[in-house]
Amino acid sequence: MVRITRRDFCSSLAAGAAGVAAGAAQVFGQQVQDDGSNLPRPTPQQLAWQDMELGLFIHFGMATFTGEFKPRTPADPNLYHPVKLDTDQWLEAAESMGAKYAVFVAKHCTGFLQWQSDAYPYGLRQTVWRDGKADVVRDFVASCDKYGIKPGLYASVSSTAYWTVDNPGLVNWGRGGDPKKQAEYAKACETMLTELWSNYGELTEIWFDGGALAPERGGPDMVPILRKHQPRAIVFQGPAASIRWIGNENGVAGYPCWATASDVEDVNGPGDPDGTRWLPGECDVPLPGHEWFWTPEQNKKINPLRRLMSMYYRSVGRNCNLLLNATPDTTGLIPEANMKHYVAFGAEIRRRFSKPVAETKGEGNVVELALERPAKIDHVIIMEDIAHGERVRAYEIDGLVSRNKWQKLCDGISIGHKRIQQFDPIRVAKIRFRATKTAAVPKIRRLAVFSVG
């Protein structure tokens, strides 16, 4: 993972509801007049991506074998020799935690190419492993298809040891000064990306770590290739970005967090409620206590499940997607100790949120949910119908604790795709969503309460 360039890139940016489990929606209150027609809205691809919520990042490559994250000298290709590599096992991890998409690091800072590539001679073709005929990208995509998980690919162009390229994508370790070599590198990147984007079917997400050097500065001309071969893909950073980095690698978003952004130079972070472009956030993070690539000591650093759940509340529960990393070891398998963590994470999400006490949907400044009978609750999930834009700017959630007494349970500012809030257990007969500030008439896709314990 190239960390230092997240804040440095400057890129060009392109600009169902759940059924009622119990109770019924009632709409009250004075309606605002704005119909929301001027609000930014997601594309169908962005809408589908936000519904996926969880993704698995898979960092595996030459750095797994050498331990060098950003080497200055390309390692011997034959060091890459994963004797048990099984991409199905990777996707089993994704499936167990409930991920709907997965992103494989096909080419990282070493420059090692994990498919049959003509871009330059440093990759699987140059190894003795599987007689130089392996294609891990092909295997990964096939496993995604087998498990019903959408595939994505990471291939950075800002740092490549084989070409002595470093941030922001210049030869001579980032210093530039060799136009001929720079042009050769740009051409190699265009070949590399054409292969990845044209040979493996439709991709859900394309990941650019650290963005990309613009063509006029010597970078590859990627946008025409992208538009030709993957026009529907969600793009993280780089040219034609359609999602944004949240601003850290901790798996958490600040609050409030909006799906819209404005200033081209400052698209990271919390977003802008008055932004003109739909650009939702993705929170990327290693498994707690781990590095991006496998290390021999990592299994001693696994932290409790509560850390993962805290990240879930502060990413998915704050209007973002969570992209949690996995690190296959030198055998090519995710260590069993780590697999257990993905299983536990998915099981805990399902335990907490698969069976609401009651839920409904509604439209207007106030939406009520009557429970079938008074019950103890301690969580609420609110989802806007973001196909119509983010309309709520502030809200309160109240509970009916006696015949005529409403008590505030929680409040907030942004909702967007999903907001998860926890409060002290309380017995209520109804709950009430009240929008206290809006940009247009609220459209609540889901209002659900839970007793998690």
What is the chain's mean pLDDT, rounded?
A: 91
The CATH number assigned to the domain holding 405 equals: 2.60.120.260
Q: How many CB atoms lie within 10 A of CB 228?
A: 11
Q: Quick check: 10 pLDDT over 80?
A: no
Over range 113-128, report the average pLDDT: 98
Please indicate whether residue 67 or residue 264 has the higher confidence score (pLDDT). 67
One domain, residues 402 and 278: no
Domain membership of residue 23 (yes or no) is no
Torsion from C-alpha of 313, 433, 367, 318, nearest 10 degrees: -20
Domain membership of residue 265 (yes or no) is yes
Domain membership of residue 35 (yes or no) is no
And the tokens for 195?
A: 């292969």
Q: What pLDDT is attached to residue 6?
A: 38
Quote the CA–CA distance of 237 and 212 in Å, as a whole number: 8
Pairing relationship of beta strands 101-107 and 150-155 according to DSSP bridges: parallel
Q: Are 148 and 52 in contact (CB under 8 A)?
A: no
Q: Can you tell me which residue has the tokens 């952004």?
A: 261
One domain, residues 294 and 378: no
Q: What pLDDT is attached to residue 289?
A: 86
> Quick one: residue 413, left, alpha or beta (phi over 0 = left, psi -120 to 50 = alpha)?
alpha
One domain, residues 400 and 252: no
Q: What pLDDT is attached to residue 403?
A: 87
Q: What pLDDT is attached to residue 264?
A: 57
One domain, residues 330 and 217: yes
Q: How many residues are there in the chain?
A: 453
Domain count, the chain: 2
One domain, residues 228 and 108: yes
Range of the structural domain that residue 419 is part of: 358-450
One domain, residues 117 and 211: yes
With both helix axes pointing from N to C terminus, report the angle between 305-313 and 336-353 in degrees, rounded to the nearest 10: 50
Q: Quick check: 24 pLDDT over 80?
A: no
In three-state form (DSSP H/G/I as H, E/B as E, the rest C), the secondary structure along the chain is CCCCCCCCCCCCECCCCCCCCECCEEEECCCCCCCCCCCCCCCHHHHHHHHHCEEEEECCCHHHHHCCCCCCCCCCHHHCCCCCCCHHHHHHHHHHHCCCEEEEEEECCCCCECCCCCCCCCEHHHCCHHHHCCCHHHHHHHHHHHHCCEEEEEECCCCEHHHCEECCCECCCCCCCCHHHHHHHHHHHHHHHHHHHHCCCCCCEEECCCCCCCHHHCCCCCHHHHHHHCCCCEEECCCCECEEECCCCCCCCCCCCCCEECCCCCCCCCCCCCCCEECCEEEEECCCCCCCCCCCCHHHHCCCHHHHHHHHHCCCCECEEEEEEECCCCCCCCCHHHHHHHHHHHHHHHHHHCCCCEEEEEECCEEEEEEEEEEEEEEEEEEECHHHCCCEEEEEEEEEEECCEEEEEEEECCCCCCEEEEEEEEEEEEEEEEEEEECCCCEEEEEEEECCC
One domain, residues 174 and 204: yes
Instruction: Using the 3D structure, point to which of 353, 383, 414 is the last residue of a domain.
Output: 353
One domain, residues 344 and 364: no
Q: Can you tell me which residue has the tokens 């704050």?
A: 318
Q: Are 338 and 287 in contact (CB under 8 A)?
A: yes
Of the CA atoms within 13 Å of residue 263, those in its CB half-sphere come to 7
One domain, residues 431 and 297: no
Q: Quick check: 89 pLDDT over 50?
A: yes
Per-residue pLDDT band for 34 (boundaries 50, 70, 90) equals low
One domain, residues 330 and 395: no
Domain membership of residue 10 (yes or no) is no
Per-residue pLDDT band for 27 (boundaries 50, 70, 90) equals very low
Quote the CA–CA distance of 349 and 448 in Å, as a whole number: 15
Pairing relationship of beta strands 443-450 and 358-363 according to DSSP bridges: antiparallel
One domain, residues 318 and 389: no
C-alpha angle 138-141-144 in degrees, rounded to nearest 5? 150
- Which of 19-28, 106-115, 154-163, 201-210 bottoms out in mean pLDDT, i.e. has the lowest? 19-28
Domain membership of residue 388 (yes or no) is yes
Q: How many CB atoms lie within 10 A of CB 153?
A: 26
Domain membership of residue 390 (yes or no) is yes
Over range 352-368, report the average pLDDT: 98
Q: Quick check: 15 pLDDT over 50?
A: no
The CATH number assigned to the domain holding 291 equals: 3.20.20.80
Query: Of 179, 180, 156, which Cα lies nearest the Cα of 168?
Result: 156
Query: Of 210, 241, 261, 279, which Cα lies nearest the Cα of 12?
Result: 241
Q: Are 417 and 341 in contact (CB under 8 A)?
A: no
Q: Quick check: 391 pLDDT over 80?
A: yes
Q: What pLDDT is attached to residue 188?
A: 98
| Segment 266-314, tens digit of pLDDT | 577 899 999 999 999 999 999 988 999 999 988 777 778 999 999 999 9
Q: Which residues of 286-312 are buried (b: 16+ CB within 10 A; e: fewer)?
A: bbbebbbbbbeebeeebeeeebbbebb
Q: How many CB atoms lie within 10 A of CB 73?
A: 10
Q: Can you tell me which residue has the tokens 């999930």?
A: 381
The amino acid at 92:
E
Domain membership of residue 337 (yes or no) is yes
Over range 384-405, report the average pLDDT: 96
One domain, residues 309 and 415: no
Domain membership of residue 18 (yes or no) is no
Per-residue pLDDT band for 211 (boundaries 50, 70, 90) equals confident
Per-residue pLDDT band for 36 (boundaries 50, 70, 90) equals confident
